[in-house]
Amino acid sequence: MSLLNREVFWPPADELTEVAERIRARLGEWPAAETRWRVCLTAPESPSASDLIVVTEHDDSIESGNAAVLEAHGGRVALRRGGERFALEGEWSDDWLAALAAFLDCNFEPHDALTLALAWRAGDENKDDAWPVDFATFPRVADLPAAPEGGFPACPDRLGLYPVLPGAEWVERVLDLGVRTTQLRRKSTDAADLQREIARSVEAGRRHDAQLFINDHWREAIAAGAYGVHLGQEDVQTADLGAIVKAGLRLGLSTHGYYEMLRALHFRPSYLALGAVFPTTTKVMPTKPQGIARLARYVRLLSGRVPLVAIGGIDARVMPDVLGTGVGSAAVVRAVTDAPDTASAVSLLQQMFTSQRENV
C-alpha cells in the first residue's frame, strides 16, 4: 500500500502525504478505497465529486460544484456533502488532515473517516494498536437537540439472540422456543392491524418475561405498554423521545458507522444496533455492509458503554464470526423466518450464544 503514487492532497503536499502514508501503514489491512479521494487545501479550478475542499473559515462563495467542503475553525469541523451536513466539535491533533487521508484510504465514508481523523492523536502510529480506541479522544456531534431528561431505562448488557419478526404469530412462536429478546417489525399502514399485532406481541412478551421491542411505531408501542421501541437514525428527528422516556420504554437506535454511533449516544439509548454487517435483502440499506473487521472495532470502542446488537445478513453460517467480536447480541431475520425448521434453527443459534457465554 502506498499513497505516494497518487494525488492525495492539492496542492501537492509531500510532508502531509508522508505522514498520511505512515499512519495508513499502521492501520492494518482494509479493503481498497472505492473512491480515490483528494483533500484540497485550496479550492481547485475544476472540483470533482472525489474532492474534499478544506476551508478554515465559513465561506459560501467557494465554488465547490459536486465536491464536499470541510469547514474547520473554532473547535468545529463541518462536512458539507451532497446536501447533507455533518458537524463535529472537540480537540484534534495537527495530523488530522493526514489521518483523514489515511482513513479515507481504508474505504470509510468521508463523515466516518473525519470522525476517526479527529480522534487520532500524534504518536498513535507508535502504539501496538494504532487504531483510535480511546473514547475520550473522539469528537462530539454538534448541533443536536437536547437528550430527553431522565434518560431511557437500561436493558441487559447482553441481549443474546434477537430475532426481528414480521407478525405477532411469529413473536409467540419464537418466545415459546425460549428466545427472550425479539422485535416486531410490522410493515403495515393499516392502523387496526398495527394496533392488534402490537398488542398481541406485547402480551406474549409479558407472558414470557421477554424484551419485546416494536420497530418504528413508537406511539402504538407506548399505548400497548411495550418493553421498548427500535428507531432508525432518521426517526430521531420526528419521534417524541421525551414521551418514550416518560412512558418508561427502552430505546434501541440503528447506526451505520462511527458518526452515527456518536450521534445516537448523545440521546443515551438503551442499546445501539450496529450494521448492516453483511448484505441484506430484508430492507434497503443507506450504507454499504460494514463487515466483521469494522464490527470488531465498534465493539472494542463501545463495549461497556452501551449494550450492542449486530444486525444485517446474519445467519448460522456467520454467527460464530459475529460473536467472535465480543458483541453481546445479534439480530436475525431470515435465519429464523426462512428456516425449514424454526425450532431447530432457533436451538442452533441459541447454542452459539451459550458457547460464547461459556468462553467469556
Is residue 159 within 8 A of residue 227, CB to CB? The reply is no
Please give the Cα distance from 355 to 351 (Å, whole number).
Answer: 6
pLDDT in tens, 80-122: 999 999 999 999 999 999 999 999 999 999 999 999 999 999 8
Q: Do the annotations mark residue 334 as ligand-binding?
A: no
237 grid coordinates? 428527528
Best CA proximity match to 259, nearest among 84, 124, 129: 84
- At the topology level of CATH, where does 160-359 sit? TIM Barrel (3.20.20)
Q: Do the annotations mark residue 281 as ligand-binding?
A: yes
DSSP string covering 297-350: HHHHHHTTTS-EEEESS--TTTHHHHHTTT-SEEEESHHHHT-SSHHHHHHHHH
Q: Do the annotations mark residue 183 as ligand-binding?
A: yes
Q: Do the annotations mark residue 181 as ligand-binding?
A: no
Q: Do the annotations mark residue 35 as ligand-binding?
A: no
Q: Do the annotations mark residue 186 as ligand-binding?
A: yes
For the chain, the structural domain boundaries read 9-141, 160-359
The residue assigned the cell 414480521 is 166
Is residue 77 within 8 A of residue 88, CB to CB? The reply is yes
Q: Do the annotations mark residue 216 as ligand-binding?
A: yes
Q: In the prediction, which pLDDT does 286 show?
A: 66
Min mean pLDDT across 5-14, 152-161, 331-340 is at 5-14
Is residue 170 within 8 A of residue 185, CB to CB? The reply is no
Q: Side-chain half-sphere of 226: how many Cα atoms within 13 Å? A: 30
pLDDT in tens, 298-336: 999 999 999 999 999 999 999 999 999 999 999 999 999
The pTM for the full model equals 0.95
User: Which residues, in sequence order, are bridge partners of residue 331?
Assistant: 162
Q: Do the annotations mark residue 187 as ligand-binding?
A: yes
